[in-house]
């Protein structure tokens, strides 16, 4: 071997060693993070199993992740509104009025083709059995629009649903909230008319378990 070849071999060996060190550091650094995420997820599931075991049976069947999602169409006289909801148990709520609280997200498509992301909350009675079939349910949603990273103070439209579980579906109505939230042409009502009627048409809806992609396809139609 010629002497001028030796530095090249040493450079190759050094480069390979550096690659092994970087690779070892990557896995060594990510390992604790992945472990923390796994342990955190297990802890959350364990807490839900203790405080809200019913959440693993929403819709009538056991599922390992304690949440429910579904969508449906509200056929109002002014047009169709597509609604998607996803919710899970929440430890937050009033101590004065015990209930089983829910938190999540909703998406609403209007007859005009507008889409709103909604911050969702809800509740059922306290001390639920594993089966929620027949239990009363209340959901409420407010628009949470962010512009340039800041949330707007006006959270309209705001809608609510009331009804019961009819496993695997939710049979509900809008409690006249669409009438209050929208103009007859489907635009969001942004006025403050004290003489505007509070109650009007009540629109029924059946929320069926389904995916966001199914809801999105319905919006496009």
Confidence (pTM): 0.78
**Nearest-angstrom CA–CA distance, 184 and 71:** 23
What are the residues facing 161 on neighbouring strands?
Answer: 139
Please tell me whether the peptide bond between 168 and the residue prior to it is cis, using omega within 30 degrees of 0.
yes
**Nearest-angstrom CA–CA distance, 203 and 177:** 9
Per-residue pLDDT tens, the chain, 221 aa: give them. Answer: 555 555 554 554 454 555 555 555 555 566 665 555 544 445 555 565 677 899 999 999 999 999 999 999 999 999 999 999 999 998 875 566 689 999 999 999 999 999 999 999 999 999 999 999 999 999 999 998 765 555 667 889 999 999 999 999 999 999 999 999 999 999 999 999 999 999 999 999 999 999 999 999 999 88
**Nearest-angstrom CA–CA distance, 145 and 31:** 37
């Amino acid at each position: 071997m010629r002497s001028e070849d030796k530095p090249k071999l040493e450079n190759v060996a050094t480069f390979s060693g550096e690659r092994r060190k970087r690779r070892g550091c990557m896995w060594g650094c990510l390992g604790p993070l992945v472990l923390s995420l796994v342990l955190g997820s297990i802890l959350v599931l364990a807490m839900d199993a203790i405080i809200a075991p019913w959440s693993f049976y929403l819709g009538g069947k056991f599922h390992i992740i304690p949440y429910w999602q579904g969508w449906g169409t509200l056929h109002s006289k002014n047009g169709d509104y597509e609604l998607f909801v996803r919710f899970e148990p929440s430890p937050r709520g009033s101590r004065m009025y015990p209930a089983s609280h829910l938190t999540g997200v909703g998406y609403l498509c209007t007859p005009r083709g507008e889409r709103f992301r909604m911050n969702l909350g809800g509740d059922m009675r306290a001390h639920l059995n594993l089966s929620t079939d027949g239990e009363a349910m209340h959901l409420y949603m407010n628009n949470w629009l962010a512009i340039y990273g800041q949330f707007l103070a006006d959270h309209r439209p705001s809608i609510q649903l009331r009804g019961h579980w009819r496993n695997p579906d939710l049979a509900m109505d809008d409690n006249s909230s669409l009438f209050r939230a929208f103009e007859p042409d489907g635009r969001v009502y942004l006025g403050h008319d004290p003489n505007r009627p509070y109650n009007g048409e009540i629109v029924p809806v059946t929320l069926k378990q389904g995916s966001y992609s199914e809801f999105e396809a319905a919006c496009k139609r």
